[in-house]
Structure 1
Amino acid sequence: MTAPHLTLASASPRRRELLARLGVVPDAIVPADIDETPCRGELPRDYALRMAREKAMALEAEGFVLGGDTVVAAGRRILPKTEDEGSARACLELLSGRRHRVLSAIALKTPDGSLQERLSESVVRFKRFSDQEIAAYLASDEWRGKAGGYAIQGAAEGLVAWLGGSHSGVMGLPLYETRSLLKSAGFPIG
């Protein structure tokens, strides 16, 4: 009997690294090409789950398809994946000294076409940033393409005063929920 096929619907190197921590190596990596624009009035939790579902369902692949999405939210506001220094600065200034939520959703399309999903919700509080700390973080370029303008697995981790929830979820793939989801769907995992 051959092992089931798993496709990861994400180009994120972080998600691949995190899956490897579970001893899972995807057979294929195919980024889902979907519109990631939040719907008008969509809440962060609903948006994260919808994105994970749409990514998993967008691919026609044999076996299992795993989609995921991570959303940084300040209140009801969904923060962008920062592509320029101005948006990264705006996110960092908004998050400075305050708590925010990180919602990391995963969805698994099984070989029979059914869909299962999980959501990890974490709370992160940054220290209050000085102008020099913001300038240094922006100079690092770690923020580029990151939800909320930061990557917790890099220099930003030294600015986190408190974290409640899943560190791996804040990185982009909640390992407890991912393991549980794969196991319950019959994917062989230790």
Structure 2
Amino acid sequence: MNNPAFQPLVLASASPRRRELLDQIGVWHEVAPVAIDETPVEGEAPDLYVLRMAREKALMCQQHWHDTDRLFLGADTTLVVDGRIMGKPDSGAEARAMLARLSGREHQVMSGVALAGPRAVRERVVSSRVRLRPLATSEIDNYVATGEPLDKAGAFGVQGRGAALVAELTGSYTAVVGLPLEAVTDLLYQVDQPVHHWWVAADE
């Protein structure tokens, strides 16, 4: 990329799904995962939680990077049921309990993104709604047996086999996967780094 104004974005995440989504819209990026304490603060609202997580990831990545003129993207996604955050299951038994709780019900998926640059941090939260089909016990057991639910908030992923469990999705599909591309695109426009410039920057 010859244009210095369009250096690769730095993604503060090891998620292959987030990388694939950035690739999908043609945003050049490098990966620099960070580890932070992801424990919610007592009484913390889910939307504020995902924004805090995204912001802390972006800022920690920026702090440890040699070039602070770059843009650093942090993201976090969580599932919310009855106003409470549902994290990743610790075991197959917990995954089955989570799926049984979600069976036939609607829940929220909150996805926060933060873009840290030289002068400011811009952030956005996107809320989507997902309703699962009523799930038979055998269906839950077989899904858990695939291993897919064990690293997913709420014990299912819409981008994998879990798509077969979904009855309805309202909002942003990419936010439910883990990175709301509409929000990322808007934040990049705000810092005068429109996505479409990456498509031609290599030739400039």
Which category of TM-score, normalised to the shorter sequence, fits these structures? over 0.9
Cα contact 2:73–2:116 (8 A) shared by 1: yes
- Aligned counterpart, 2:199: none
CA distance in 1, matches of 2:44, 2:194: 35
How far is 1:29 from its partner?
A: 1.1
The alpha-carbon deviation at position 159 of structure 1 amounts to 1.3
Partner of 2:163: 157
Q: Could you tell me how far 1:170 is from its partner in structure 2? A: 0.3
Secondary structure of the residue aligned to 1:144 is helix
* Greater mean deviation of Cα atoms: 61-70 or 75-84: 75-84
Q: Do residues 93 (structure 1) and 87 (structure 2) align?
A: no
TM-superposed CA distance for 1:122, in Å, is: 0.3
Larger radius of gyration: 2
Please say if 1:14 is aligned against 2:14: no
CA shift digits 1:39-87 (9 cap, x unpaired): 1111111111111111111122330000000010002210012242122
Q: TM-score scaled by structure 1?
A: 0.95
Structure 1: tracts of 5 or more residues without a match: none
**Taking structure 2 as the reference length, what is the TM-score of the superposition?**
0.88
Percent identical: 44
**Which of the numbers 17, 20, 28 marks the counterpart of 1:25?**
28
CA distance in 1, matches of 2:143, 2:45: 28
Tell me the residue number matched to 1:166: 172
Residue 45 (structure 1) aligned with residue 47 (structure 2)? yes
Which protein is richer in helix relative to its size?
2
Find the aligned partners of 2:138 and 2:175 in 1 and give their Cα distance: 28
Of 159-168 and 78-87, more deviation after overlay is shown by: 78-87
Aligned partner letter, 1:159: L
**Greater shift in the superposed pair: 79-88 or 166-175:** 79-88
Q: Which amino acid aligns with 1:87?
A: E
The range that moved more, 52-61 or 123-132, is 52-61
**Number of residue pairs matched?**
188
Which amino acid in the other structure matches residue 78 of structure 2?
A: V
Secondary structure at the counterpart of residue 195 of structure 2:
coil
Are 1:138 and 2:140 counterparts?
no
